[in-house]
């Protein structure tokens, strides 16, 4: 009896260690993709799995067959889709940094103040014809683009942003990414749009703004270095020659949509 109890305790200990290690691995992988576009794909797969289980429970044969075929396809597609995240995880594992504590990211506490600072900053940059590219992260995480620049984690202020974009300073050539009410990074590289219908007079900043908004829901403010004109990129389109009033109303409207949708959203939009 004593031997049986000893084996049972050993089995419980091994099971507990097994569960804890697996949980840590999944947690670390989730933290790697939390602020990237990959997390949206994970949510989509989870929705498909949930619907597939419900279809099996209610014996919906056709839907079950279709979803099973899609899930089998995802088994092959997922390693390709998550190739950057898997490579990053292996690199961190090799450096011994995989099991690290991840800091909490502050959320939007004063979006109205952020809007006013952005409007003031844009007007100063426009008046002095200083080129700028300011990205506002929304639902779709853009951590992979944050990591291309210099991480800052500073409070959003007009003076701070203007100082970043002053010509011939270390961080002026690139995009500033704002997450909530913080400047996450500066000097970031964005993907250029490959749309052949873009007007030829648009420069690299405008093409980068269109390029990022084509693949994410980010909102981007562009100030032209040549003309001082302010443009706003949303959903792959560029609204040009935006004045102060239009910019303020547009930012308030877009941030309000974000806040409403995040307060009454389905379970998969965490």
Instruction: Give the phi and the psi of residue 235 in degrees, each rounded to 5.
Output: 55, 40
Q: What is the mean pLDDT of residues 193-210?
A: 89
Predicted local confidence at residue 97, as pLDDT? 54
Predicted local confidence at residue 13, as pLDDT? 78
Question: CB-based burial of residue 160 (10 Å sphere; 0-12 exposed, 13-18 middle, 19+ buried)?
Answer: middle
SS3 58: coil
Predicted local confidence at residue 242, as pLDDT? 94
Indicate yes or no: pTM above 0.75. no
Predicted local confidence at residue 5, as pLDDT? 55
Which of 36-50, 78-92, 153-167, 217-231 has the lowest average pLDDT?
A: 78-92
Predicted local confidence at residue 103, as pLDDT? 44
Q: What is the mean pLDDT of residues 107-125?
A: 84
Average pLDDT, whole number, for the chain?
81
Please give the order of strands across the beta sheet that includes 230-234: 150-155, 182-188, 175-179, 132-136, 219-223, 230-234, 237-239
């Amino acid at each position: 009896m004593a031997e049986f109890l000893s084996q049972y305790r050993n089995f419980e200990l091994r099971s507990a260690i097994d569960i804890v290690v697996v949980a840590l691995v999944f947690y670390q992988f989730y933290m790697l993709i939390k602020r990237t576009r990959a997390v949206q794909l994970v949510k989509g797969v989870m929705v498909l799995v949930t619907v597939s289980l419900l279809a099996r429970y209610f014996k919906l044969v056709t839907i079950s067959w279709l979803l099973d075929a899609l899930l089998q396809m995802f088994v092959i597609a997922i390693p390709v889709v998550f190739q950057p995240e898997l490579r990053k995880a292996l690199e961190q594992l090799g450096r011994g940094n995989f099991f690290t504590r991840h800091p909490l990211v502050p959320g939007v506490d004063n979006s109205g103040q952020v809007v006013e600072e952005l409007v003031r900053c844009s007007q100063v940059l426009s008046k002095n014809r200083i080129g700028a590219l300011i990205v506002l992260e929304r639902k779709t995480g853009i951590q992979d683009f944050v990591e291309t620049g210099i991480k800052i984690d500073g409070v959003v202020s007009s003076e701070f942003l203007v100082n970043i974009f002053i010509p011939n300073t270390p961080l002026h050539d690139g995009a500033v990414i704002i997450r909530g009410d913080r400047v996450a990074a500066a000097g970031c590289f964005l993907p250029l749009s490959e749309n052949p219908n873009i007007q030829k007079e648009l420069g690299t900043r405008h093409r980068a703004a269109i390029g990022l908004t084509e693949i994410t829901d980010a909102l981007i403010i562009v100030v032209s270095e040549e003309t001082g004109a302010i443009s706003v990129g949303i959903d792959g389109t560029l609204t040009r020659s935006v004045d102060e009033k239009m910019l303020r109303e547009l930012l308030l409207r877009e941030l309000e949509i974000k806040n409403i949708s995040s307060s009454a959203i389905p379970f998969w939009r965490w």
